[in-house]
Structure 1
C-alpha cells in the first residue's frame, strides 16, 4: 500500500507502510511465536485482513479553524494535520469526511486549540457498519455548542442519510483523554447494528467493538469452534464488550455469562441477544476480576478479551487457583499475554492463531486456547 501522507512524513502511524503484506504477516507470526516459545503450540494459519480500508472507526482530531477545519492528528506543535483521505479507514467513513468538515463550518464549531487551551470541538469519532450505517460522536469541551449541532442536524442528515446515531460527548479536561463520561443523545436511535458473520451485534456510543469487522468475525468464529469442540456446560466471557464472544459461545444446554464494566456495552449485548433469540446467555455490568473473585464456583471454560494491559495479577491468580479447565485468551498485545501466562504456570497454550486486525502496523490480535496441565488449588 502507498500512502501520500506517509511519504510526505505527515503521518507515520502505519509503521509498516511500504512493506509487502505477506512479509508483514510473517513478521507478526514470528513475533508472536517467539513470545510463546515456552509453550507447545499448534499454530493455525494466520488470518489476513484487507490491506486498505479496514478500519471501521476513525478517531479524528479536529484542528485548524471554523472556516478551514482539519480532520486527522496533531503535529509536534499541537497543530492540526488533515488526514481525511487516510487509506486505512473504511470507504463510508472516508466519503463522509468532506461533509463533516462542512458541518463544522456551518454549525460554527470552533476546533479546540491545544496550545492555547481554548475552543470547543476536540474530536470526531465516526464508526461504520457493514450495513452502511454510520455512528457520529462529537467530542466537545463543554455543552456550549450542542444547540448549534441540534439546529443544523437536519442538514447533516440530508447530506448523510446513513447516519444512524449522533451524540455529543463532553470531555472538559485538558489532557490526552479521548472522551468523557457524559454522552448527550442527539438522535432517536442510540445503537447501531454491527453484523459479524451470522450474528448482528449492537453498538452503543460508549461501547467497544473491534477495529476490523471482517477480522473480528473470523476471531469470533475461531472462539466458537473451540468452545463447540470442548462442549463446556458453563462459560464466562470476561471483558465481554458488546457480547461478540459470549453470543458466539452459546449452545444447547450451555450457560454463558458475559461480564463487562461498561453499562452501554451490556445494553448492546442484551439487545443483540434478544434480537437473535439466543437463550442461555446473561450479561452483567461489573469488573471482571471482582466478579471472578466473588463467585462461589468457577465455570468449565473462561473467555477473556482484555485491554492492552492484559488481565493483570489478580485475575491471573484467580485463574491459576480456579477449577476451570479451559481458557480462551484473545489478546491485542501479545507481550502482555506472555506476561500473564508466566504468572499462570499450570496453564499451557495448546493452539494459537494470529489475526491481522491492524494491517500496515506492528499490531495484531492473537487468540489462544489454553488448558490446565496441573491440578487446581481452589474452586
Structure 2
C-alpha cells in the first residue's frame, strides 16, 4: 500500500470522533477515513501509511448505508459543519451512545451506572450562535459567506439554507452577503493577510428571541466610508424576522489567526448584549462570552448536573471554568455558597451582572487561570463542578483540585477523549466514577457532551494499632524505620531536561525533545504528562539519527527508565 493509491471498501464501524474503519484483507490493513457512516461502500485514496496504520480520504460514496436517509440540508457533503445529517436522529443517538460507552468502559476502573445519551429537545434549528466566515466559492470566484468546505481550511461554502439555525439566521446571512458583494470590497485572505471581510457573528436567544449581530472586519478599509455601515444597519433593521434585533456591532480584528478576535467593538445600533433564560434564570450574554450553543439542550445538561451534584444545602461549591456563570447560578439557590473561576474576563463580568440580576448574593466569580487562582480562593469546597474547555484540565491544576478531597465531583466534558485522559488521573488520586450520562447538544454532528459523577473513595474499615518506638522487647527500632523509608522512597521523576543535559555532558551534542519522545514511543514507554499532546499531528514526527537514538537509550538506562 502506497500513498495516493485508490481503493474501494465498506466502512465496518465508526469510532469517535468520526473515524470510519475499512478492512482491506488483500492488504492486511485497516484504513481510517473521516466523515463516513458504517455500511457505506466508498472509494477512497490513501493519504498516509506509517507503522502499520493507514489514513485515507473518501472520494465517493458508491453505495449508501442501509440506515441512511436523504439529508434535510442541501449543503450536506460540501459544508464541513455536520457529519450525520443523513442518519435518522435515533440512529445518531445509538451511534454516539455506542462510541461513548466504549470509551468510558476502557477508561473507568470498576463498575459504574451508565445512563445513555439524552436527546436534544430540538433536532434542527437548535443553535443560538453561528460564526460565518467570508471567502470565495472557488478560486477567484464570487464572494462567499458561510462555512468552511469539508476538508478545507480556506474554501468557503455558502449555506443560505443551513438547517441547524433558524430562518432569522438565514435572512441575516443573506442580507449581509448581498450587501457585502455590492460594496465590492474583498474578503480577508488568510495567506496573504490582505482584505476586509472576516466573519459574521449572529447570536439569538431561544427563549427571549433577542438577536445580536456582529460584523468582523480588518481595519484595512474605512468601515463607514468604504463599506457604508449605516446602510448595512438599516437593511438589517428592515428585515422581517421572528425575533427582535437588540444590537448590531462592528468588531475590528487585524490578527493573523483565523479566529474571531476582538480588537475593538463599535455599537452601530442598540446594545452589545442580549438576554437568554435557562431554568427560570436570566443571563446577559455578550458577543464573545461562552454560552452553550443549544439553549434547550443546555437545560437538559444542567438538570443532569444538578441531579448529579446531589445534596447542596449549606455546602460550598466550586464551579471551575465557569463561563458566564450558568452552572454556578443554577446551583446557588440550593447551596451555601458558589465560587466560579473563569479565565475570560468578559465572561466573569457578565457572570457577576447575571448573579446580581438574578438576586443571588451567595455567588462570587474570579477572573484568571484555574491553575493559579485556585490557590487564592482562601476556602475549601465541599463539592466541585468542572466544565473545562475541549482540551480538558491542565494536569497540574487537576492535582490541586483533587487535593481538596471533596466527597463528590461532577465533570462536564465536551470532548470525550480529553475526559478519558483526565479520568485516569482522577482515579489514580482516589476518585471513583459512579454515574455517566451523555447529553446530545449537537444533532447532525459527531459532538456530544458527557457528564460524570465521581465520589472520593473512603476506607472500608479502620484498624487502630498501638506502636511503641525505641529499643527493647515489643518496640520498633527507629533505625529500621529509616531503612524501610529509604527502600520505599519513590524514584526521582526523570525529565526531558535531565536526559538532554546528561547526553550533552557525556557525548558532546544536543538532542531535541522530540527525538527523546520518539525513542520513548518506539520503546513502548508511557507518554504521560503531555498537556499539549494532539490526536493528529500537523507536522511529521522528528526521527533522530542512529547515533542520537543510541545516546537517548543509554541515557534512559542510566536513569533506570528502561
TM-score (norm. length: structure 2): 0.62
Bigger CA drift: 72-81 or 260-269? Answer: 72-81
| Residue of structure 2 aligned with 1:48, choices 119, 125, 129 | 119
CA distance, structure 1, for counterparts of residue 178 and residue 453 of structure 2: 48
Residue 160 of structure 1 and its aligned partner are, at CA, apart by 6.3
Match of 1:372 among 456, 463, 470: 456
Correspondence for 2:131 among 31, 56, 59? 59
Shift of the alpha carbon at 1:113? Answer: 3.1
Residue 271 of structure 2: SS of its match in structure 1? Answer: coil
Structure 1 CA distance, aligned partners of 2:270 and 2:431?
47
How does 1:227-242 map onto structure 2 within 5 Å?
Answer: 227-231=309-313, 233-242=315-324
Instruction: State the 1:97 CA deviation.
Output: 1.9
Q: Which runs of 5+ in 2 are unaligned?
A: 1-70, 460-562
Report the alpha carbon displacement of residue 264 of structure 1 after superposing the two structures with TM: 1.5
- State the distance in 1 between where 2:155 and 2:103 align: 38
Match of 2:81 in 1: 13
Evaluate the alpha carbon distance shift between residue 210 and residue 24 of structure 1 in structure 2; reply closer, same or farther with a 3 A threshold.
same
Classify 1:219/1:74 alpha carbon distance in 2 versus 1 (closer, same or farther; 3 Å).
closer
Aligned: 1:154 with 2:238: no
Instruction: State whether residues 62 and 111 of structure 1, in contact with CA within 8 Å, keep that contact through their aligned partners in structure 2.
Output: yes
1:261-276 to 2 correspondences below 5 Å: 261-276=343-358
Alignment CA distance shift 1:143-1:236 (3 Å): farther
The question of whether the paired residues in 2 share the 8 Å contact of 1:347 and 1:374 is answered with: no
Query: Given the alignment, which residue of 182, 197, 209 partners 1:132?
Result: 209
1:9-40 deviation per Cα after TM superposition (whole angstroms, max 9, x unaligned): 32243222212221211221222222222243
Query: Which deviations, in whole Å up to 9, do the C-alpha atoms of 1:145-194 show, x marking residues without a partner?
Result: 43345432234323367221222222213333332443333344221101
Whole-angstrom distance in 2 between the partners of 1:63 and 1:258:
39
Please show how residues 254-293 of structure 1 align to structure 2 within 5 Å: 254-293=336-375
Residue 186 of structure 1 aligns to a residue whose secondary structure is: strand
State the distance in 1 between where 2:355 and 2:165 align: 29
2:192 aligned with 1:119? no
Give the structure 1 partner of residue 66 of structure 2.
none
Q: In structure 2, what is the equivalent of residue 83 of structure 1?
A: 159
Deviation at 1:265, TM superposition (A): 1.0
SS at match of 2:117: coil
Shift of 1:105: 4.1
Kindly indicate whether the alpha-carbon contact (under 8 Å) linking 2:96 and 2:117 is maintained by their aligned counterparts in 1. Answer: no
Aligned partners of 2:280 and 2:247: how far apart in 1? 23
Q: What's the secondary structure of 1:323's corresponding residue? A: coil
Contact 1:232 1:300 (C-alpha < 8 Å) held by counterparts? no
State how far apart, in whole Å, the 1-side matches of 2:153 and 2:413 are: 34
Larger radius of gyration: 2
Quote the Cα distance in structure 1 between the aligned partners of 2:349 and 2:168: 26
Within the alignment, does 1:358 sit opposite 2:442 as a pair? yes
When structure 1 is superposed on structure 2, of 118-127 and 155-164 the one drifting more is: 155-164
Which residue of 2 is the match for residue 319 of structure 1?
Answer: 401
Q: Which deviates more, 148-157 or 237-246?
A: 148-157
Cα distance in 1 between the residues matched to 2:73 and 2:392 = 32
Range that drifts further, 319-328 or 71-80: 71-80
Provide, for residues 75-134 of structure 1, a one-character-per-residue CA deviation record: whole Å limited to 9, x for no partner: 448343211211112332123222222332466653223354321111101111122221
Cα displacement (A) at 1:308: 0.4
Cα shift readout 1:239-277 (whole Å, capped 9, x = no counterpart): 111111000011256111111111211222222222221
Consecutive unaligned residues in structure 1, runs of 5 or more: none
For the residues of structure 2 that align with 1:327 and 1:149, how far apart are their CA atoms? Answer: 52
Post-superposition Cα deviations, 1:42-71, rounded to whole Å, max 9, x if no partner, equal: 223422112211121111111249x95421
1:62–1:112: 8 Å Cα contact kept in structure 2?
A: yes
Within 2, Cα distance between the matches of 1:280 and 1:82? 47
Q: Please point out which of 233, 245, 261 is paired with 1:163.
A: 245
State which drifts further: 129-138 or 146-155: 146-155
1:301 CA displacement: 0.7
Picking from 73, 77, 90, the partner of 1:3 is 73
Which string of whole-angstrom CA distances, capped at 9 and with x for unpartnered residues, describes residues 215-262 of structure 1?
111111222233353546101111111111000011256111111111
Q: What is the TM-score when the length of structure 1 is the normalising length? A: 0.90
Q: Is the 8 A contact 1:120 1:145 kept in 2?
A: no
